[in-house]
Amino acid sequence: MKTVQLKKTKDSNFEYISEKLDSLGVDVSTCTVAGVDEKPNEDAFVGVVDDGLLWLGVIDGTTSLKQLEKLKRVSGARFSSHFLAEKFSMINTREQPGNVLLNLNKKLLKETIKLAGKLEDTHSLPASVGTLIKLDFSQRTINMAHAGDTYCVIYYKNGDSEVISDDRNKKFDDEMFSLIKQIAQKEKITNREARQREEVKEALVGMYI
């Protein structure tokens, strides 16, 4: 098994990785716009190659409403995305993506409980959204597991493209953007300034719930 992932050095750097997989006859390119020292990157990507199989995963950490003390200055979003990426690199490649996603979720919960996260207080649980793809070159198949508002887009040889993942968060995001726009227009301020208003912060808490 070969893990297609270069260890990150500085999160303040823009990161672009390109690797040619001769055994599969494909090129894999990945990039991420990293964070800053005050807020390290809360996204992660990972790839695994094993005997004709290529697994790819993109993981987006989600903001926790409560910070776990044992994580110290590390956000729940960063912890969960990087923890899941590390565990993803050790998956059973013969499994189906749905089972891998569920198993990763169990591992994250188990680790979170060690850090004093509580199931009865879901706001304290570090979490991520993500999309996992399994490409089987011998069978010419693609399988996917997906949760949240990351995306998978397929581009065809004729130039067409298709989003094959769904976005269950779109409804909430649209409502939030609409509220910010309304406040900005009413108060004659920028959207960025409106985002900091107390009513928006309260609406965000309601959205998370």
Is the pLDDT assigned to residue 65 strictly greater than 80?
no
Is the pLDDT assigned to residue 10 strictly greater than 90?
no
Average pLDDT over residues 144-167: 91
- pLDDT-based confidence at 67, cuts 50/70/90? confident
Is the pLDDT assigned to residue 8 strictly greater than 70?
no
Residue of 157 and 13 predicted with greater confidence: 157
* pLDDT for the residue numbered 6: 47
Is the pLDDT assigned to residue 138 strictly greater than 50?
yes
* pLDDT for the residue numbered 5: 56
Is the pLDDT assigned to residue 125 strictly greater than 60?
yes
> Which residues on adjacent β-strands are paired with residue 36?
39
Distance CA 94, CA 79 (A): 27
* pLDDT for the residue numbered 193: 93
- pLDDT-based confidence at 14, cuts 50/70/90? low
- pLDDT-based confidence at 207, cuts 50/70/90? confident
Question: What does pLDDT average to over the chain?
Answer: 86
Distance CA 107, CA 109 (A): 5
- pLDDT-based confidence at 73, cuts 50/70/90? confident
Task: Answer yes or no: are the C-beta atoms of 194 and 187 closer than 8 Å.
Answer: yes
- pLDDT-based confidence at 4, cuts 50/70/90? low
* pLDDT for the residue numbered 18: 78
What letter does residue 39 receive in the DSSP assignment? Answer: B
What are the structure tokens assigned to 86, written together? Answer: 């590390």
Is the pLDDT assigned to residue 104 strictly greater than 60?
yes
H helices present in the chain, as ranges: 76-88, 97-114, 170-187, 191-195, 198-208
- pLDDT-based confidence at 202, cuts 50/70/90? confident
Identify the three-state secondary structure at position 70: helix
Of the candidate ranges 78-82, 98-102, 166-170, 197-201, the one whose mean pLDDT is the lowest? 166-170
Is the pLDDT assigned to residue 86 strictly greater than 50?
yes
Backbone angles phi, psi at 94, to 5 degrees: -85, -10
